[in-house]
Amino acid sequence: MAGSSAGIVAGLTGVALTAVGFLAYQASATVPEGLAGTSSGASTAATAPAVERDRNHPTALPSGAGTGPRVVYALSDDRVWLVGEREKVRRTYRVTPSTVDPEPGSYFVTSRTGNTAGSDGVGIEHVVRFTSQDGVSIGFSAAVNGSVRPPDRTRRTGGIRSTRPDGDAMWQFAVINTPVVVIP
């Protein structure tokens, strides 16, 4: 009797695993376009927005950098915009870039950490991550000691540093799944 019970349990387990696999396939096949993403949180670099900048007003939000509440990060200007409802810029500020830049494109905040040590050993706070590239996590943070010095260029780092007040603003604004638009 014990042998037949084990066979029944094994059979039921197999049926259950097959059903779960089928349901998982169905769920992934019916995800609306735009909600399906990569494991890094990026929609793809091919969706990098075409933006226009007002060179006379470098702090002005570039047009074409997405819609709705979002974080906009301009690689060439080392500038961040926190954009709220009705395209109102809540805050804009300069940042110190990391040694590994994200590709231009659309991402989402994937994780947050209150306090930790940066890859350079400096204590950091309000870490807001949105992608990774070649094994390097990329996100915004502020050094607890207030330092915004450029990173050691001999190391691969993904921490985009800001001042502590700007880091506080990012932390309050950019919760999990907040869109992040990276522009050239």
Phi and psi for 174 in degrees, rounded to 5?
Answer: -95, 85
Give the pLDDT confidence score for residue 48 in this predicted structure: 56
Give the pLDDT confidence score for residue 118 in this predicted structure: 85
**How many CB atoms lie under 10 A from the CB of residue 169?**
19
Give the pLDDT confidence score for residue 47 in this predicted structure: 55
Give the pLDDT confidence score for residue 31 in this predicted structure: 37
Give the pLDDT confidence score for residue 71 in this predicted structure: 98
CB neighbour list of residue 74: distance below 8 Å, 6 or more residues apart: 53, 62, 80, 81, 183, 184
Give the pLDDT confidence score for residue 149 in this predicted structure: 78
Write the single-letter amino acid at 138.
I
Q: How far apart are CA 66 and CA 116, in angstroms?
A: 31
Give the pLDDT confidence score for residue 7 in this predicted structure: 56
Give the pLDDT confidence score for residue 106 in this predicted structure: 96
Question: Per the confidence metrics, is the pTM higher than 0.85?
Answer: no
Structural contact between residues 180 and 75, judged by C-beta atoms closer than 8 angstroms: no
Secondary structure (3-state) at 34: coil
Q: How far apart are CA 155 and CA 113, in angstroms?
A: 22
Q: Which is it for strands 70-74 and 179-183: parallel, antiparallel or unpaired?
A: parallel
Give the pLDDT confidence score for residue 123 in this predicted structure: 93
Q: Kindly give the parts of the chain with pLDDT less than 50.
A: 9-10, 12-46
Structural contact between residues 91 and 166, judged by C-beta atoms closer than 8 angstroms: yes
Give the pLDDT confidence score for residue 45 in this predicted structure: 46
Give the pLDDT confidence score for residue 144 in this predicted structure: 94
